[in-house]
Amino acid sequence: MLRRQAFVRKLTGRAVHLIGTIVDGELVPLAKCETPVRVEISAEDAAYFLFRFDADNDCVAGTWHKTLEEAMRQSEVEFGILESDWRDI
> Cα–Cα distance between 5 and 73 in angstroms, integer?
14
pTM, two decimal places: 0.89
Residue scoring higher pLDDT (16 or 85) = 85
pLDDT of residue 3: 96
Contacts 24+ apart (CB under 8 A), 17-23: 17/52, 17/60, 17/61
Residue 2: pLDDT over 90: yes
Domain ranges of the chain: 3-88
pLDDT in tens, 10-66: 999 999 889 999 999 999 999 999 999 999 999 998 999 999 999 999 999 999 999
> Cα–Cα distance between 88 and 48 in angstroms, integer?
14
